[in-house]
Amino acid sequence: MIRPPLVFFNFLFILMPGSTKGTFVWTNIMITTKINNIHSSLLFCCFSLLQIDHFGFLEDGTFKQRYLVSDKHWHQSGGPILFYTGNEGDITWFCNNTGFMWEIAEELGAMLVFAEHRYYGESLPFGQESYSDSKHLNYLTSEQALADFAVLIQNMKNMVPGAQNSPVIAVGGSYGGMLAAWFRMKYPSVVVGALASSAPIWQFPGMVPCGAFYKIVTQDFAKSGHNCDANIRKSWKAINNISSTASGLQWLSEVFSLCTSLKNKADAAAFKAWLQETWVNLAMVDYPYEANFLEPLPRWPIQVVCKYLSFDSPVSDYQLLHGVSQAAKVYYNYTGSTSCLNISQTATGSLGALGWFYQACTEMVMPMCTDGVQDMFEADEWNFQAFSDECSAMFGVRPRAEWAGTVYGGKDIASHSNIIFSNGGLDPWSSGGVTVNISASVVSILIPDGAHHLDLRYRNDKDPPSVRAARALELQYFREWIKQAKKVN
């Protein structure tokens, strides 16, 4: 079965009813959350009524888009606004994991806005019917989401005293980073610049080799432990051997502490896909300190994982897979509080896997393949037709493989300005990222020791110098953009 990797990329909040069309509600909420010694003392939870369809002129209804606001440090009329372009999930989760914005708000005197992406979290255009069929899902597109953001900002500027001339900078990571870059490209009069962290805007057909993503995953494991990648490469055959019998399936279920026992070949295939995604997720969140992004993990988690996969001499399939089971439990049970492992879930429930799969089945078509030689996975070609058939069976739609490149310009982005593309050397999504300077104002910042959007996370004493330098440079660009905007105003 061909499918895109479902890899991606808790603030207190109160839901309030919306008001009339084109306006929004602010509700004061006192927060006492403390994260990494940073206190957020004031947050507003708001809703804006937006068109379900921005590009048609029939009355197709409205929906309530949720967004979060902090104006604690925004005291000056015309002060800047840092606007987070929400990803495929609950906006409170992204708000909680984007410490960079919180930490520079005081320095810039900035208002913070975290906008939720339509169809995720509480921003459901058709309520509980939003995912009922392809007709209701039809408005889940990046173009509609960008229009939501643009209208939301216009509404805020019209309604909030002192915000009319506020320069807005878009910030996002992963898919949210793609949106931040595209927001600046498509709506340059709305946002004066964008920070697109770990944003694979070139991970589309014909732009990068389909195997580049998994090569980086493999390199991360190869660098983190002796024979680590080689033993993972051997593990697939071992799984095939052991899963060929009913007793072997039961042994795998027990040694991996699975919640549901493996019963047949289909279960064994799902088990291997789960393990593959586990290794991918570890590469994404290989942070230099303990973190709880996708799962609670130790610092440099791949190094910890690889301690169980350092076999030198040939070992039996059972010995090898026992090591793999212990390695997998570093990811799924580092805290020791998990009683069993569920192979249907590999990350936090705050992410919207079904919504992202629909987007991958329509316009976010990102070819992935493995060869088992330059990477540590079983060989698996990219088969667009098989993927398209799966999308048709699941959603009744077929992907438009070339659409994202057409609508957003592909690799021809030199005419744009004021965009930072930051990428971590450990992050497999850097394979589709912009890793070279395009022009004087469309620039790349590389973080060799960085995993997935490390620069957007809170500062930590264990941060490598490369990410500290990246954040300082990003802040410098922000100041320049704000200065430019004020001159124009």
Q: Strand 193-197's sheet: what is its strand order? A: 24-30, 42-51, 62-70, 111-115, 81-85, 168-173, 193-197, 419-424, 442-447
* Pairing assessment for the beta strands 42-51 and 24-30 based on DSSP bridges: antiparallel
Instruction: State how far the Cα of 356 lies from the Cα of 118, in Å rounded to an integer.
Output: 12
In the annotation, is 174 catalytic? yes
The active-site residue out of 73, 416, 452, 453 is 452
Q: In this structure, are residues 413 and 188 in contact, taking their beta carbons and an 8 Å threshold?
A: no
The active-site residue out of 40, 174, 197, 235 is 174
Q: How far is CA 474 from CA 196, 344, 376, in A?
A: 11, 38, 35
Q: In this structure, are residues 70 and 95 in contact, taking their beta carbons and an 8 Å threshold?
A: no
State the DSSP H helix or E strand holding residue 82, giving kind and residue range, or none if neither. Answer: strand 81-85
How many CB atoms neighbour CB 457 within 10 A? 25
* Residue 410 token pair: 């592909």
Sign of the CA dihedral running 297, 302, 303, 308? positive
In the annotation, is 148 catalytic? no
In the annotation, is 427 catalytic? yes
* Pairing assessment for the beta strands 81-85 and 111-115 based on DSSP bridges: parallel
Using the CB atoms, write b or e for 320-338: b if 16+ within 10 Å: bbbbbbebbbbbbbbeeee
DSSP 330-361: HHH-TTS--SSB-TT--S-TTB-HHHHHHHHT
The active-site residue out of 267, 286, 375, 427 is 427
In degrees rounded to 5, what are phi and psi of residue 488? -65, -45
How many CB atoms neighbour CB 106 within 10 A? 10
The set of residues, in sequence order, having a beta carbon less than 8 Å from that of 56 and lying 6+ positions away, is: none
Residues paired with residue 406 on neighbouring β-strands, in sequence order: none
Nearest to 153 by CA among 67, 94, 77: 67
Instruction: State how far the Cα of 101 lies from the Cα of 419, in Å rounded to an integer.
Output: 16
Burial tier of 126 (Cβ tally within 10 Å: 0-12, 13-18, 19+): middle
Instruction: State how far the Cα of 288 lies from the Cα of 464, in Å rounded to an integer.
Output: 8
Catalytic positions: 174, 427, 452
